[in-house]
């Protein structure tokens, strides 16, 4: 054994304790840490010939990167739709790395952990038992997997086995949507269907939800043509929902695959106040739900639920690998999703679901929605801002009260200053042609006090921008 490996093995308990202390110190300061920083120019990295050992590597990490760590998992990171990491999920994640099991091994207890976790998730979301669930790396791969099964289904409508013959064997592929997430078109590109296969339908007035009458008109203009419909269950800008119940009714009369992108909107199912937004999703063919969003487990983790495991098997099965067994004879998750090798990403979810239960997640979702509404109400009262859309769930979409011709530049300057100050992180967006700002609240740590701090920060930065604009215009 290499001498450095041997030394680290002998000092393993001390190393784990040092790492735990470092992590504990970081988390104890996460409420006060900046949520964003301006990074310096780092010196080039060099690979040492002789290793320094794990303890020295930890020290080097702290010296090189420690002062630049940010509170992305903290209570005022409203940028990407990123949950924090619950204490239980963190414990599960550490153990996942410790045991380092591949849940693709049916003989391993990790297979049982993954199976059991998916049962818990179906119960959390009140999904029928006939839905097969699989863990994937994120909503992008979940959408990819659902649309891959849809592609196989679409081929069969034309008498073609796409998994065997290739995507060139199917003709006139159409994927319809109103306000799809960018990962939908990315998935279409990866699947060989092409971004141009995406047909954008009109939305309802003042909404991001599909106009069902426009969909009916398209169907009338393409009689008998099978297609895929990608429904939004929580759009990125305004958490708007397509009328899934109406789409489910249309499926009774017309031939199409219904994919529901519920990356974070699927968590409406845990709340009696909001689950009506998902009425009908039990009739969907495939459903995307993210775990590193509102489930508040670490990156990277999501689930795909489908009604058609045989179509998934046709696409993702491993053939010609005797050591993996017969994919048709023995169920194995590796034959139903893209990845063969993956970490035990179900374990953080299992820990968190068992630790906090349905009540914990119901309280988390409803608390985040209340706080988003609190932020939205403050913005609507402000002379510096205006809401671009109602606060439906956990996202606040707003813009600056400024002249339209200057708005894009003012938004850019506003966010630049906001990020530099590091109290809160938000991202730029465009809503129906208007430059704006988007704040997404899905973190278990966020409190009303955080919202008060955020509101004060927004007002302060907006006032600075107004003063600067006045000076520029006067000169």
At 230, list the tokens.
Answer: 């990608």
Task: For the domain covering 28-39+52-100+357-475, report its CATH number.
Answer: 3.90.1150.170
Residue 103 has what pLDDT? 87
Q: What pLDDT score does 280 carry? A: 98
- Please report the sign of the dihedral spanned by the C-alpha atoms of residue 190, residue 196, residue 197, residue 200: positive
Provide the whole-model pTM.
Answer: 0.95
| Class of domain 102-344 (CATH, top level) | alpha beta
pLDDT tens per residue, range 79-89: 988 889 999 99
Backbone phi and psi for residue 218, each to the nearest 5 degrees, phi listed first: -60, -45
pLDDT of residue 468: 57
Mark the ranges of the chain whose per-residue pLDDT is less than 70: 467-475
Long-range residue pairs from 113-122, CB within 8 A, at least 24 positions apart, any chain: 113/344, 113/346, 113/347, 113/350, 114/333, 114/344, 114/346, 116/350, 117/346, 117/347, 117/349, 117/350, 117/353, 118/303, 118/346, 120/349, 120/350, 120/353, 120/354, 121/289, 121/303, 121/349, 121/353, 122/305
So what's the pLDDT on residue 474? 44
Please return the burial class of 283, using the count of CB atoms within 10 Å of its CB with bins 0-12, 13-18 and 19+. Answer: middle
Q: How far is CA 472 from CA 142, 339, 371, in A?
A: 48, 54, 36
CATH 3.90.1150.170 in the chain, residues? Answer: 28-39+52-100+357-475
Q: Is 39 helix (H, G, I), strand (E, B) or coil?
A: coil
pLDDT at residue 326, as a whole number: 84
Return residue ranges of the chain for CATH 3.40.640.10.
Answer: 102-344
Q: What is the pLDDT of residue 475?
A: 40
Q: Which residues have a Cβ under 8 Å from the Cβ of 285 and sit 6 or more positions away?
A: 146, 149, 150, 153, 257, 258, 259, 306, 307, 308
Rounded to the nearest 5 percent, the helix, strand and coil shares of the chain are 50, 15, 40
Please identify which residue in the block is written with the tokens 């996942």: 96
SS3 of 436, please? strand
User: pLDDT tens across 282-308, in order?
Assistant: 999 999 999 999 999 999 999 999 999
């Amino acid at each position: 054994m290499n001498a450095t490996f041997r030394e680290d093995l002998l000092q393993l308990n001390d190393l784990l304790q040092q790492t735990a202390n470092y992590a504990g110190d970081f988390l104890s300061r996460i409420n006060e840490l900046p949520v964003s920083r301006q990074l310096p120019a780092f010196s080039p990295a060099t690979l040492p010939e002789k290793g320094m050992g794990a303890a020295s590597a930890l020290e080097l990490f702290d010296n090189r990167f420690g002062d630049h760590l940010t509170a992305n998992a903290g209570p005022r990171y409203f940028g990407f739709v990123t949950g924090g990491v619950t204490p239980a999920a963190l414990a599960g994640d550490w153990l996942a790395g410790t045991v380092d099991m591949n849940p693709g091994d049916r003989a391993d207890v990790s297979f049982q952990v993954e199976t059991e976790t998916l049962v818990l998730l179906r119960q959390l979301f009140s999904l029928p038992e006939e839905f097969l669930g699989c863990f994937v790396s994120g909503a992008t791969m979940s959408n990819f997997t659902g649309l891959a099964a849809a592609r196989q289904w679409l081929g069969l409508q034309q008498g073609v086995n796409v998994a065997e013959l290739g995507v060139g064997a199917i003709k006139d592929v159409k994927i319809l949507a109103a306000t799809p997430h960018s990962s939908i078109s990315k998935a279409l590109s990866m699947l060989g269907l092409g971004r141009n296969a995406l047909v954008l339908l009109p939305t309802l007035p003042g909404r991001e939800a599909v106009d069902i009458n426009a969909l009916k008109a398209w169907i009338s203009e393409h009689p008998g043509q099978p297609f895929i419909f990608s429904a939004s269950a929580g759009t990125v800008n305004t958490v708007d929902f397509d009328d899934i119940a109406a789409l489910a009714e249309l499926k009774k009369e017309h031939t199409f695959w219904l994919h529901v992108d519920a990356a974070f909107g699927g968590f409406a199912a845990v709340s009696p106040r909001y689950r009506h937004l998902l009425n009908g999703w039990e009739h969907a063919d495939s459903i995307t739900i993210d775990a590193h969003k509102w489930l508040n487990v670490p990156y990277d983790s999501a689930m795909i639920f489908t009604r058609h495991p045989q179509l998934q098997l046709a696409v993702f099965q491993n053939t010609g690998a005797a050591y993996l067994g017969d994919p048709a004879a023995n169920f194995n998750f590796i034959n139903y999703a893209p990845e063969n090798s993956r970490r035990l990403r179900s374990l953080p979810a299992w820990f968190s679901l068992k630790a906090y239960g349905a009540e914990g997640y119901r309280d988390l979702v409803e608390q985040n929605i209340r706080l988003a509404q609190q932020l939205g109400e403050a913005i609507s009262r402000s002379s510096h801002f205006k809401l671009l859309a109602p606060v439906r769930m956990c996202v606040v979409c707003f813009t600056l009260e400024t002249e339209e011709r200057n708005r894009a530049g003012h938004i850019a300057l506003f966010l630049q200053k906001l990020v530099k100050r590091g109290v809160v992180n938000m991202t730029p967006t465009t809503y129906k042609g208007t430059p704006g700002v988007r704040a997404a609240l899905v973190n278990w740590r966020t409190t009303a006090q955080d919202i008060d701090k955020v509101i004060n920060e927004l007002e302060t930065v907006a006032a600075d921008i107004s003063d600067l604009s006045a000076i520029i215009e006067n000169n």
